[in-house]
Each structure stands twice: as structure tokens, then as C-alpha cells.
Structure 1
């Protein structure tokens, strides 16, 4: 575009000189913000396995609270309008996901984080942890990075998660993380769905609670069926479990809620071949990645059933994009009275850009909207 305009204009400067001038003017224009109210909100956008992560870099008001969990309650009660601004259209979309870096009360934590999505605030997010690991090293939120891996301790609402970021010659790469204790809450639970009748599900915790069911129960395939059909089936399961099963977490009532349903390909017996799943969480939001906390919960479930041994690595594939995470149980532990495991999940995250958002005073849609 610039080359065409320059070559056709009658001007004493050469095309190369005009291009340089145009680029300087464009750069100056990009540095200026339009008229707006309130603070500028700056973000760094990434994706992990296709699942977006909008990391809020600056512009958020002070988040009050003496713990990460209390900060989660504070943003839900006092700053939720900013979640809608950044997650909803026109700046985001129905399936946008976000992370707000906050201070942690844990001395060993490098950073705390609050996760946000179309419905509210989750307690754990594996794809976000993978992206935040790279972000923390690249944006110098940790001390001098080390090769071949730099450890980043991330305090999530569910607890401390240890991420390990590949680092070589100044560049970050893949990330693995060690989960909070993951456990199976219940197996072979029957719930009644209005459209589908009685369905048997398993419920497992990987920083958040998920219901698991084979997609074939609904005549579906997680890799080939229409996303809308998968969403409808998973949402029906989520609603049924929420209304018919009371969840419990031994350390905090804030963690005792069903985050979503994961439809699987039914290949739970150990194999070197990938096993696929599709996670539908929050307000029928579709995860494009294999779902890090979902992989954690699924590994815990497979270990509970004796289908996978300690340090036996499995590959989990997203039914939406085909992207892959690996997961393995590395240590037995306890979470209250539950037998639990620490799960290691590995994946890759990539940067997609940076943005600076403002709100114009006369924009009636500035606070965001969603199309359902």
C-alpha cells in the first residue's frame, strides 16, 4: 500500500526516503492514544496449543486482599467490569481467557495470578501457567534465568504451581509444571440429563473439578463431531452434575465447584498413541488446548483406576486443534483424606502480540458484550 502511494506521487523525495518518512509518522501515530476515560489497559497476548491468554501487563487498579484467594474474591466483587472490558467483545470474544498478575503472600512464589474467562474467575489454568512461565522469564519477573531450565513459582488460587521454563542462549522455549495435589473425587456417578437420560461420569480434581465422560455416550467423536454438538452435550453434563452432586475440597470451600466437563475419546488404557479430549468450561467456553488442569485431573483419574503408573508419560491431544500436551504422575501424596498425585504437564506457548486498550466516554458498548 505504502509502496504504491509513494511510487505514484509527484514528490522530490525518492520512494525509499518517502517510505522512511511514512514509517516514522506511523510509529509516532501508534504511540498516541485516542481520547478516553480511565486508565490505559496494556496486555500481552499469547496462546498455548491454540487457547488464548491475555496477560494484563498494566493499568489495573490495586487488587486488595491478604491472599491470592481473597484477591480473587475482591476482583469478583469490585473489579468485574474490567474482566468484561478485556474478555468480552469488541476487545475480546466469547472464548477469550485472561490472567492478572498479582502479589502473593507466599515467600517462595515469584508471582501470584488470577485467571478470568467469560463467566468469572477460575482456580487453576494449565495453559495459562505454561504461557506465564515464558512471560515471567522474558519480562524479568524472576531473577537471572538459568540454563537449561528456569524455575518459576506461580501462586494460583488453587495453590503453588512450579513451572520449569526451557532457557538457552537468551531464549525461552517449552514449559513443564508440577501441579497441586490432584485426586479422583468420585467414579461411576450417575446423573440424569433431560435430553440424554442417565449418564455415568467420573469427577476428578486437577486444580479445578471436572466431570469426565466418553463422547461416544452421546454418539459423538471429540475430533470429528461439530463443536456445537460437543458443547451441548458437555454443558448438559455440567448442569446435571452441578445440580445433583455436592462437591467438597479439603482445604477451601472456594475450590469446591465444578469448572466444566471434559469429553474424551474413551482411550483411557495406557498407550503411546495420543488420547484426545475436548473441554467445555465456565459458560460453555471451549478450550482449544488439551487443557492443562484437565490433563492433570485426567492423569489423576487414570492413576486412581490403575491405568497408568508413576512416571509413565501420556500424550493428550486437543479435539479442537490437534495440539498436544504430555502428562505423567510423578509422586504420590495426599490432599486431606484423598489419595492424590502430583502431575507434571508439558506444552508450548507462543506470543501473538501486544495491545493497549482504552474506553471512549460516549461508547455505549465500551463495557463489553457477548453473542451467545
Structure 2
């Protein structure tokens, strides 16, 4: 009799973006860092990402975060981010969701009030600041990656749109930043399909014309993301608000404004001299959810002004489940997956491991 293959999940969301946290069922991965383990998944076991983001188990709008034992002793857990476009080295919404799951699973015991711990992402260590009230995780603040402006107000001719002005920021991935109003958008939910089509046309045009290189990481792949920027409202001293929408894949506008999209906005606002260290920007999505980005400091790296920042949001647990993997199912492809599935009734990651 074949053993039943299962994967343990905790489904969560932050700002509407669902992150499936894999808490058990996957064998230890080779690699002496979380980044190396991510590269192994990408190159040799991409079936896990496809299984959980494609039919019959998932949809492309979701993300997946695999919990792994940390390789840095300062971290409570490691995590590998998987999305329909591949394996980003960092994501604000995924980090908020993973930190929430780590607390809810008891990997880090909850403490009333404020508590701090570290996670290990493929981009490195991430400081987490959690607020717990009456046993409920009320807020997660995580570090955004150092962000900077690569290109400011360039123009490109886009088929069906004409000339489009854009800037490009790096905040964990390269983002094209465009003014929503100049493209005729008010960033309301009824515009979602048109926003996705417009973003795809702009991103494809930019990718066809040029590439981008990070000042230390080098080539991190072609431009994947676009962030629509609404008008900035000055709400109070040092506090701003802007409607926003982030495109990540053909047909997909994120439910949230995204943490990395918010970090990209902070980099642009610093470049334009419109915010100071300590100031905060609340980005508001098509679904009226939001993240708060805080500009903490700026550092000079050659000709670049690199913005240090953090992102605050709230994660919600929406399901705990076992996914049953049936490799005889014609809808399921186990060819690049079976070798990492625990061939037994698996248990969630041990908090003491």
C-alpha cells in the first residue's frame, strides 16, 4: 500500500494577498544558506511551487512560503518565497504572513505586547517586530530591503498607449513606477483588469528595450513588476497616504499594495525630496487594504541614495489544512516534486529544531 503523501499548510493573508505557509511534509533541502536552498528548489524541485499555485490545489494570485530550519543561529526560522513569476528573494506581504504563521504555530512563542525576533529569508536576516494583544497578532513590522532609484522619469513608446513616462526602483525586485492618473486610472476595483493589461504592455515594452543591474547583486533578471501610483495626500505631520496597485504577472494585480511596492514608493519620494527620515507612507489598495511604510534612513552607495525602511501590516490566519498529493492524478505533476516529499505521514516543522 502506498504511503499517503501530505503537505501541511497554514493559509494566511496580509492586505488580501494569500500566502500559503508550508509547515510540514517537505524533506530537508540541500544548501548551507536559505538562499542556496531556494536555488535548489528553483533549479531541481520547482514542482512544489507549481503544485501549490496551479490547479487543482491553488491559483496564480496566491504566494507560497516554505518554512525551513534557519542556517543562521540568530533566526527563529527560515522561509523560501514562491510566486507565479518565480522565486523573489524578498517580499513584504509574504514576510508579514510568515512571521504571523511562525507565531501562530508556536515556533516563536507569543508574548503579550511587543516582541522581536529574526527570520532568515533568501535575501538574508530580517528583523521582525510583532505586537500581540490578548493572544492575537495585531501587527507585524518587518524590514524592507534597502531601496533606490535606478531610473528617473524615462519615456518609452508603448503599443496602444503611446508615450509613457516611468521611473524604476529596486526594492527587492525592479519596479516600474508610473503615475496612475496620467494613464487615466483612479485606482478603483472596477479598473483591475484594465490595470493588469496596461501594466503588462508597459513592462513588456521596457523589457524589450533594456535590462537592469543591481549595484551589488548584478543581473537579477528582467523587470518583473509595475506599481501604479495615485496622488499623495498629506494626512498629518510626517504622514502621507496614496492609493496604489502592484502588477506582478500577466493578468495579476496584487490584492495588497505589496511591501516591496511601498518600499519603492519611499525610494522615489526620497529621490524627489518630498519625505524626511521618520516619515510614513500608507499605501491603499483597490480593495481598501493598506500597508504603512516608514522611511528610516538614507545611505550613499556611490551615486545612489539607498533608502532604509520598514513595512507594517497585519496577517490573518484563514485556514489550516493538509494537502493530499496523489501522483496518479493527471492534474498533478510529481516529476520535479516527488524527491522532496516526505514519504510518510509528516508533521509540522519542530519549533525546537
TM-score normalised by length of structure 1: 0.82
Offset at residue 296 of structure 1 (A)? 1.0
Residue 261 of structure 1 pairs with residue 226 of structure 2: yes
Offset at residue 180 of structure 1 (A)? 2.3
Quick check: 245-254 or 348-357, which moved more?
A: 245-254
- The corresponding residue for 1:95 is 61
Alignment RMSD (CA, Å): 2.2
- The corresponding residue for 1:356 is 322
* Mapping for residues 202-351 of structure 1, pairs under 5 Å: 202-253=167-218, 255=220, 257-265=222-230, 267-268=231-232, 270-272=234-236, 274-319=241-286, 321-334=287-300, 338-351=304-317
Residue 140 of structure 1 pairs with residue 137 of structure 2: no
Does the 8 A contact of 1:178 with 1:343 survive in 2?
yes
What SS does the corresponding residue of 1:241 show, helix, strand or coil? helix
- The corresponding residue for 1:17 is none
Offset at residue 148 of structure 1 (A)? 2.1
Quick check: 252-261 or 226-235, which moved more?
A: 252-261
State which of 77, 80, 97 in structure 1 corresponds to 2:46.
80
* Mapping for residues 104-253 of structure 1, pairs under 5 Å: 104-142=70-108, 144-253=109-218
Does the 8 A contact of 1:269 with 1:308 survive in 2?
no
Offset at residue 225 of structure 1 (A)? 4.2
Does the 8 A contact of 1:271 with 1:314 survive in 2?
no
Distance 2:302 2:99 in 1: 28
- Assess, with a 3 A threshold, how the Cα gap between structure 1 residues 335 and 288 changes in structure 2: closer, same or farther: farther
Does the 8 A contact of 2:293 with 2:311 survive in 1?
yes
- The corresponding residue for 2:347 is none
Offset at residue 268 of structure 1 (A)? 3.9
What SS does the corresponding residue of 1:181 show, helix, strand or coil? strand
Distance 1:268 1:245 in 2: 29
Does the 8 A contact of 1:317 with 1:323 survive in 2?
yes
Does the 8 A contact of 2:13 with 2:316 survive in 1?
yes
Offset at residue 65 of structure 1 (A)? 1.6
Distance 2:141 2:155 in 1: 35
Task: Note the alpha carbon deviations across 1:97-150, whole angstroms, 9 max, x for none.
Answer: 1111223433332222211112321121111111122222222323x5444212
Distance 1:228 1:257 in 2: 23
Offset at residue 52 of structure 1 (A)? 0.3
Higher relative contact order (CA 8 A, sep 6+): 2
- Assess, with a 3 A threshold, how the Cα gap between structure 1 residues 243 and 160 changes in structure 2: closer, same or farther: farther
- The corresponding residue for 1:18 is none
Distance 1:133 1:71 in 2: 19
- Assess, with a 3 A threshold, how the Cα gap between structure 1 residues 248 and 38 changes in structure 2: closer, same or farther: farther
Select the structure that is richer in helix: 1
Select the structure that is richer in strand: 2
Distance 1:216 1:172 in 2: 36
Offset at residue 257 of structure 1 (A)? 4.1
TM-score normalised by length of structure 2: 0.86
Unaligned 5+ residue runs, structure 1?
1-34
- Assess, with a 3 A threshold, how the Cα gap between structure 1 residues 226 and 365 changes in structure 2: closer, same or farther: same
Task: Note the alpha carbon deviations across 1:204-226, whole angstroms, 9 max, x for none.
Answer: 12222211101233322211543
- Assess, with a 3 A threshold, how the Cα gap between structure 1 residues 67 and 255 changes in structure 2: closer, same or farther: farther
Equivalent residues, number = 331
Distance 2:301 2:107 in 1: 30
What SS does the corresponding residue of 1:220 show, helix, strand or coil? coil
